[in-house]
């Protein structure tokens, strides 16, 4: 990770930043650059999945970085948007569906938006993803599963960014359609699971091996969705509570009735995630990712400025395994350098 992955990810982001700096529209340019500046760690973290396949490392690294950059750019456009239109948000996120469908039609992603001139930035990201997915030996096996995860992700982004008076009911109605898939999760936990790209990245990695079977791909899908994905995003929301409250953004951890309930729920989902990961081939890799997630988010500087979150973090870190403690210290060191 230190010698190869992190420097190569930063190199890829540097190339995309150069293209973003040439975006003609000032609002689109601002959000594209900001997404790479403030959310770089999303690509750095996601690239751990490239380290799991030495033969496909550079290929996967380019793919994961490009796909996550689309996600972060669109998140910025929707979070700090000049629009509250569901049609606009769905058109923007069609780019993510197009990115994982190498042979499908491409669309007009700015069809419902005032700002449209991005100099080909978003389309270039989509094209690179399509080229790279199309070269993965077993991509045909994983594509339906990836498309399902991306479709859920896009639905979430649409509903969570519409007018605040409408978004909770829209999310609840959406959950009602899908709750049979995750019957033991509440609506906010299901939504969180849909907001993670980790399942997509793991399926990218698996598709890099020739001979992957549909059964093996389904095992990965079911291990990551919902529990590993839910843990990922709930931890992200946990540390963002103060910021989201200040900005009026929806936060899924805010729906827990108390800090004690938050701890119980996160511990339960973390245990289920570890159980799911332990059943997969290469279980040590998946368990390392889970402990790394806990350490990465619970060591974030945002934690220290929020008293309630600090108490929750201490409880979640209590009696941690040595791997989590190692990654906690490691995450602190990375941020300092």
Tell me the pLDDT band of 89, cut-offs 50, 70 and 90: very high
Average pLDDT over every residue of 153-166 = 95
pLDDT surpassing 90 at residue 326: no
**Cis omega before residue 226 (within 30°)?**
yes
pLDDT, average across residues 146-166: 96
pLDDT per residue over 231-267, tens digit each?
999 999 999 998 888 888 899 999 999 999 999 999 9
> What is the tens place of the pLDDT at every residue in 284-312?
999 999 998 998 888 888 888 888 888 88
**Structure confidence at residue 4 (pLDDT):** 85
47 falls in which pLDDT band (50, 70, 90)? very high
Task: Find out whether 80 and 28 touch, Cβ atoms under 8 Å.
Answer: no
Q: Determine the pLDDT at residue 313.
A: 86
Give the whole-angstrom CA distance, residue 202 versus residue 247: 32
**What's the residue count for the chain?**
337
228: nearest Cα among 288, 181, 278, 276: 276
Q: What is the pLDDT of residue 318?
A: 79
Query: With a threshold of 0.85, does the pTM exceed it?
Result: yes
Query: What local confidence, expressed as pLDDT, does residue 52 receive?
Result: 77
């Amino acid at each position: 990770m230190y010698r190869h992955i992190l420097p190569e990810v930063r190199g890829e982001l540097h190339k995309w930043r150069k293209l973003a700096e040439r975006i003609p529209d000032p609002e689109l340019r601002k959000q594209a650059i900001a997404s790479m500046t403030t959310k770089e760690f999303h690509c750095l973290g996601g690239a751990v999945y490239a380290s799991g396949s030495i033969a496909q490392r550079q290929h996967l690294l380019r793919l994961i970085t490009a796909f996550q950059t689309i996600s972060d750019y669109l998140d910025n456009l929707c979070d700090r948007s000049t629009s509250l239109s569901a049609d606009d948000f769905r058109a923007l996120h069609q780019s993510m569906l197009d990115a994982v469908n190498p042979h499908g039609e491409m669309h007009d992603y700015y069809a419902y938006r005032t700002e449209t001139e991005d100099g080909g930035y978003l389309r270039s990201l989509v094209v690179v993803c399509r080229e790279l997915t199309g070269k993965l030996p077993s991509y045909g096996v994983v594509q339906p599963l990836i498309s399902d995860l991306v479709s859920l992700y896009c639905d979430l982004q649409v509903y969570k960014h519409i007018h605040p008076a409408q978004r909770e009911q829209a999310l609840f109605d959406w959950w009602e359609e899908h709750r049979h898939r995750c019957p033991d999760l509440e609506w906010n936990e299901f939504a969180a699971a849909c907001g993670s790209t980790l399942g997509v990245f793991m399926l990218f990695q698996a598709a890099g091996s020739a001979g992957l079977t549909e059964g093996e791909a389904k095992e990965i899908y079911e291990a990551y969705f919902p529990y590993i994905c839910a843990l990922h995003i709930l931890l992200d929301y946990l540390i963002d509570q103060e910021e989201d409250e200040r900005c009026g953004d929806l936060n899924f951890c805010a729906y827990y009735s108390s800090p004690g309930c938050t701890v119980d729920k996160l511990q339960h989902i973390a245990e289920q995630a570890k159980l799911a990961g332990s059943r997969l081939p290469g279980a040590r890799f998946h368990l390392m990712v889970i402990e790394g997630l806990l350490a990465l988010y619970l060591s974030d500087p945002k934690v220290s400025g929020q008293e309630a979150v600090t108490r929750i973090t201490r409880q979640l870190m209590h009696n941690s395994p040595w791997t989590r403690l190692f990654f906690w210290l490691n995450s602190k060191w990375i941020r300092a350098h």
